[in-house]
Structure 1
């Protein structure tokens, strides 16, 4: 299997892993939910985990891969405010914690680009008809 063929499965693994973390350890993520969002943070944390699992499932199946990859790119953009909130909340934490939260911010760019690349590759594939 070529690297291009593995890419959707690796992205699906990343999404499924993130979904599992959101559902297994929600308290860690509750604090990253922007306070401006309505409702309890835990609902957003669980909802995010469910969405991540759904995106992972969509990325695995060739028939839904292109749409799921585009949605994954959009998801990475949509959760960016939570990463910003996490960085802001870490201002008074130890330097390593602050560095980790700040380091996450620019990582969203390659994640969005990766998801878009999967969508484009699937669009070029004769299997997506």
Structure 2
């Protein structure tokens, strides 16, 4: 539940700062990127600290070297979080982190179904719902960047010779 709280709270704080006049935070993708970066930083650090053993135990049994896989995904999460804060790399980082969420989902299923954890947020439906929120946020960043690309012709302006506003 902590990752969901982090992404929501940080995004809302940054949206509020944008509404209060911090111009760089006004376009909504910037606060979303900030929330995702904070969340992936926290989860990436967890791969090397207090939750490491729990994360190693979540790796599905058929995969080799669970400790290495946890370290690798932690590094990828931290690299992705860093990539989210720079506008040039943000869409790539968001896309890669979205793919990482999909690839790591079987570990969430394993953890939810093996009965080790009994907290509500560790059950399959809440864990899946949280993953959907995270994946939606990463995809929103990617699609916003794609739609806002310079030179991209928007619907309604095709054939008019006008450049997008």
Measured against the shorter chain, the TM-score band is: 0.7 to 0.9
Indicate yes or no: 2:105 matched with 1:106.
no
Deviation at 1:78, TM superposition (A): 0.8
Aligned length: 122
Find runs of 4+ consecutive structure 1 residues off by over 3 angstroms. Answer: 124-127
Indicate yes or no: 2:54 matched with 1:28.
yes
Indicate yes or no: 2:146 matched with 1:123.
yes
Q: Which has the higher contact order (CA 8 A, sep 6+)?
A: 1
Structure showing the higher helix proportion among its residues: 1
> What is aligned with 1:38?
64
Q: For 1:115 and 1:53, locate their aligned partners in 2 and report how far apart those are by CA, in whole Å.
A: 15
> What is aligned with 1:19?
44
> What is aligned with 2:79?
54
Q: Which has the larger radius of gyration?
A: 2
Where does the alignment leave 5 or more consecutive residues of structure 2 unmatched? Answer: 1-24, 151-165
The two structures have a TM-score, normalised by structure 2, of: 0.68
Q: Deviations over 1:44-94 (max 9, x none)?
A: 11111111001101111111111111111111111110000001122x65x
Q: For 2:148 and 2:82, locate their aligned partners in 1 and report how far apart those are by CA, in whole Å.
A: 19
- Please provide the CA RMSD for this pair: 1.7
Where does the alignment leave 5 or more consecutive residues of structure 1 unmatched? Answer: none
Secondary structure of 1:77's partner?
Answer: helix
Deviation at 1:118, TM superposition (A): 0.9
Deviation at 1:125, TM superposition (A): 3.9
